[in-house]
A and B are shown apart, each in its own frame.
Chain A
Amino acid sequence: DTAVSQTPKYLVTQMGNDKSIKCEQNLGHDTMYWYKQDSKKFLKIMFSYNNKELIINETVPNRFSPKSPDKAHLNLHINSLELGDSAVYFCASSQGFGLLNTGELFFGEGSRLTVL
């Protein structure tokens, strides 16, 4: 069974469109994240949710809107896609938060978004 699963794995779309990426984890973790990996493989955190509540919101355009219907799911919706949004987006999860969290992140396989 896949621990952290993302769909779709590949997404090709036109500028200006709206798209969503879904993420689910079956590890029972209470914290989930979205990371963006650019073409130079640099990883940057975008959002972090703990028990469905937004905890970390890095400097991300408000065209990006995460939604967490429950602690096992964290979806990412992107409005008005731009060329610079092309990247691989990784979902991840971990157990515990703040001082309670000394554990590692578990990553999904990534969703490669290409904006034409």
Chain B
Amino acid sequence: AQSVTQLDSHVSVSEGTPVLLRCNYSSSYSPSLFWYVQHPNKGLQLLLKYTSAATLVKGINGFEAEFKKSETSFHLTKPSAHMSDAAEYFCVVSTPRGSQGNLIFGKGTKLSVKP
């Protein structure tokens, strides 16, 4: 069975400090993994994706994520948080199960950034 777990529903950091948003997955297949960001009253925007190439993936706005197969993790990091990073973040697993793939969304992590 496929699943994705975002380990924190809410993370709070101070501006200028590192960000770590955790995501674990379970998949019987070799998955593709995505991180999306959702700002208030907006749609989801792709931050980055892993599709079996380099395990360290760089995305937009200074975010990056590392695929660790042994730990079944795909944690999202940023060295220094900005106020504009305050948003909700979703980890998504995509597998070849089914004729059109199987997309599984995490429940989301709300990131707060304090000045």
Asked if A and B are interacting partners, one says no
